Chain A
Amino acid sequence: MTTTPTRHLYDVVVIGAGGAGLRAAIEARLAGKKTAIISKSLFGKAHTVMAEGGAAAAMGNANSRDNWMVHFRDTMRGGKFLNNFRMAELHAKEAPERIWELETYGALFDRTKDGKISQRNFGGHEYPRLAHVGDRTGLELIRTLQQKIVSLQQEDFAATGSYDARIRVFQETTITELMLDGDRVAGAFGYDRESGDLLLFEAPAVVLATGGVGRSYKVTSNSWEYTGDGHALALRAGATLINMEFLQFHPTGMVWPPSVKGILVTESVRGDGGVLRNSEGKRFMFEYVPDVFRKQYAETEEEADRWYTDPDDNRRPPELLPRDEVARAINSEVKAGRGSPAGGVFLDISTRLPAEQIIRRLPSMHHQFKELADVDITKEPMEVGPTCHYVMGGVEVDPDSGAAFGSVQGLFAAGEVSGGMHGSNRLGGNSLSDLLVFGKRAGEHAAAYLDALPSRPKVSRVDVAAATEVALAPLARADGENPYTLQQDLQAVMGDLVGIIRREGELSDALKRLHEIRLRVATVAVGGGRRYNPGWHLALDLRNMLVVSECTAKAALEREESRGGHTREDFPKMSPQWRRVNLVCSLDEGGQVHLERKPVPAMRPELFDLFERSELAKYLTDEELGEE
Chain B
Amino acid sequence: MKRHFRVWRGDSSGGDLEDFDVEVNEGEVVLDVIHRLQATQTPDLACRWNCKAGKCGSCSMEINGMPRLGCMTRMSTFTADETVTITPLRTFPVIRDLVTDVSFNYEKARETPAFAPPAGVAPGEYRMQQVDVERSQEFRKCIECFLCQNTCHVVRDHEENKEAFAGPRFFIRAAELDMHPLDARTDRKQHAQQGQGLGFCNITKCCTEVCPEHIKITDNAIIPMKERVVDRRYDPLVRLGRKIFRRDQLEAAGESVPRATPATAETPSGRRLPESPALGPDGRLDIAELSAPIQGGPSPFGEDITFPLPPERVTYHHPDPS
Contacts and interface: CB of A to CB of B under 8 A. Distances in A.
B302 A200 contact: yes
Nearest to B107: A163
A75 interface: no
For chain B, the bracket of interface size reads 35 or more
B80 to A, nearest CB: 17
A608 interface: no
Given A106-B115, A154-B113, A45 B53 contact: no
Contacts of A527: 43-44
Contact of A50 (B53, B129, B263): B53
A113 to B, nearest CB: 8
Interface string B24-46: 01111100100000110001111
Nearest to A460: B304
Interface string A223-241: 1110000000000000000
Interface string A534-554: 111000000000000000000
Interface in B298-320: 298-304, 315
A47 B48 CA distance: 14
A459 B301 CA distance: 13
A64 interface: no
B268 interface: no
Interface residues of A, number: 90
Contacts of A260: 27, 29, 52-53
Contacts of A611: none
B244 interface: no
Of B126, B136, B260, B315, chain A has the most CB atoms within 10 Å of the CB of B126
Contacts of A536: 44
Contacts of B278: 159-160
A110 interface: yes
Dominant SS among interface residues on chain B: loop
A259 B35 CA distance: 11
Contacts of A111: 128-130, 133
Contacts of A459: 302, 304
A626 interface: no
Interface in A439-468: 456, 458-459, 461
Interface string A375-395: 000000000000000000000
B106 interface: yes
Given A96-B124, A115-B127, A41 B48 contact: yes
Contacts of A96: 124
A49 interface: yes
A103 B123 contact: yes
B127 A263 contact: no
A371 B136 contact: no
B143 interface: yes
B11 interface: yes
B15 to A, nearest CB: 12
Nearest to B264: A154
Contacts of B28: 257-259
A155 B102 contact: no
Contact of A533 (B39, B46, B262): B46
A101 B114 contact: no
Contacts of A159: 278
B262 A158 contact: yes
Nearest to B69: A371
Contacts of B102: 42
Contacts of A202: 302-303
A526 B42 CA distance: 10
B58 A41 contact: yes
A161 B46 contact: no
B49 interface: yes
Residue among A106, A133, A485, A527 having the largest count of chain B Cβ atoms under 10 Å: A106
Interface stretch (B92-100, B199-207, B226-234): B92-100
Given A139-B55, A259-B32, A133 B74 contact: no
Given A45-B144, A372-B53, A150 B115 contact: no
Contact of B315 (A4, A200, A374, A488): A4
A532 B304 CA distance: 30
Contacts of A70: none
Given A49-B56, A106-B180, A459-B304, 14 more contacts: A100-B126, A105-B117, A139-B140, A139-B141, A150-B109, A157-B264, A160-B278, A259-B28, A260-B29, A260-B52, A371-B54, A372-B72, A458-B304, A488-B39
Interface of A: 2-4, 6-9, 41-45, 47, 49-50, 59, 96-97, 100-101, 103-106, 108, 110-111, 114-116, 118, 133-134, 136, 139-140, 143, 147-148, 150-151, 153-155, 157-161, 163, 194-195, 200, 202, 223-225, 256-260, 263-264, 364, 367-368, 371-374, 456, 458-459, 461, 482-485, 488, 526-529, 531-536
18 contacts: A6-B300, A43-B106, A50-B51, A106-B117, A110-B137, A111-B128, A111-B130, A118-B130, A133-B137, A147-B115, A150-B110, A151-B115, A151-B261, A157-B262, A364-B55, A458-B303, A482-B43, A532-B97
